[in-house]
Amino acid sequence: MNAFLQNSAPAVATAFQPLLQVEGVSLEYRTAERVVRATHEVSFEVDPGDRFVLLGPSGCGKSTLLKAVAGFIRPRDGAIRLDGREVREPGPDRIAVFQEFDQLPPWKTVRQNVMFPLLATRSLNRREAEERALHYLDKVGLARFADAYPHTLSGGMKARVAIARALAMQPKILLMDEPFAALDALTRRRMQEELLELWQEVRFTLLFVTHSIEEALVVGNRILLLSPHPGRVRAEVASHAFDLHSSGSADFQHAARRIHRLLFEEGESPAAVHAA
Ligand SMILES: Nc1ncnc2c1ncn2[C@@H]1O[C@H](COP(=O)(O)OP(=O)(O)OP(=O)(O)O)[C@@H](O)[C@H]1O
């Protein structure tokens, strides 16, 4: 069982059921001319409180898997279950954050942007939604900017608004697709750090897509390695021993090299391994 259990983990009887079960999932796109297989029979399980990373080369189907968990794409084969229930459509229990923060409607203030999904899904009344929005804006350090408009914010600040907006919905699982890829290197590092601090505080469950081995080791406590297109599971790696402070260490570099070999070199054993 994972060491990082959510505070609100269910009682003993259900405590050992994974939150997310992806079983033998093959995903396809059908275009007028052909069928593109994005993933082939991928299986993994995410426990409550995991920071679970999908890592693999460009085109291996990471984003497609995330979209399937979000409910935007139905599997060709296999099944996806959240809390034991099959995922058939999008829902407020799975909120996605993508790298295009300019999805924030520019005519709404930061506060209104965070309140918007809460009101649109009728989760809360206006006063409760405002309270909830300010609570999460405070958590990402943006309470002072509640009345600012998105175009006045830096890339990192827009990323924080997007994260606050997602967390304010209190989803069962937060889905992030390369959320920091468009940011400069320093801001990206700071955002990784802030995400970890936020996780320490809130203990949300995270499914995070990246093609950066370093980012995967820093952000994740478990990493699923996918083969090149179409994505198949190569291995699962435990990476809970690393954070930003260990990224220069010999152990970290060793784990990164091992993951690189597992991803790109034939002949490496694709069994479950421990990077830390
Ligand atoms: N809308 C689409 N129609 C047809 N094929 C698609 C579509 N979207 C993705 N694909 C194909 O599905 C495969 C998986 O794509 P996906 O975007 O999931 O990969 P990825 O691992 O997230 O890549 P990247 O890291 O570059 O974002 C690729 O071969 C891609 O070309």
Q: Residue ranges of the domains in the chain?
A: 47-74+173-276, 101-170
CA of 68 to the centre of ligand 1 (A): 12
* 22 or 155, greater pLDDT: 22
| 3-state class (DSSP) for residue 82 | strand
Percentage above 70 pLDDT, the chain = 89
Q: Is the pLDDT of residue 29 over 80?
A: yes
Average pLDDT over every residue of 59-73: 96
* 108 or 270, greater pLDDT: 108
User: Residue 100: pLDDT band by 50, 70, 90 thresholds?
Assistant: low
E strands present in the chain = 20-30, 35-46, 51-55, 77-82, 85-86, 94-97, 173-177, 206-210, 222-226, 233-238, 273-274
Counting ligand 1 atoms within 8 A of each CB, the residue from 64, 76, 212 with the most, and so the one to mutate, is: 64
User: What are the φ/ψ torsions at residue 27 (nearest 5 degrees)?
Assistant: -125, 140
* 255 or 244, greater pLDDT: 255
pLDDT of residue 224: 98
Please answer whether residues 41 and 24 qualify as being in contact, where contact means their C-beta atoms are separated by less than 8 angstroms: yes
Q: Is the CB of 64 under 6 A from ligand 1?
A: yes
Which of 105-119, 220-234, 245-259 is the least confident region? 245-259
CA of 225 to the centre of ligand 1 (A): 16
- Whole-structure pTM value: 0.89
pLDDT of residue 272: 44
pLDDT of residue 122: 85
Average pLDDT over every residue of 138-159: 94
CA of 207 to the centre of ligand 1 (A): 18
Q: Is the CB of 229 under 6 A from ligand 1?
A: yes
Residue nearest ligand 1's atom 1 by CA: 29
**Topology of the domain covering 47-74+173-276:** Rossmann fold (3.40.50)
pLDDT in tens, 198-250: 999 999 999 999 999 999 999 999 999 999 989 999 999 998 778 777 877 89
Residue nearest ligand 1's atom 6 by CA: 29
Residue nearest ligand 1's atom 7 by CA: 29
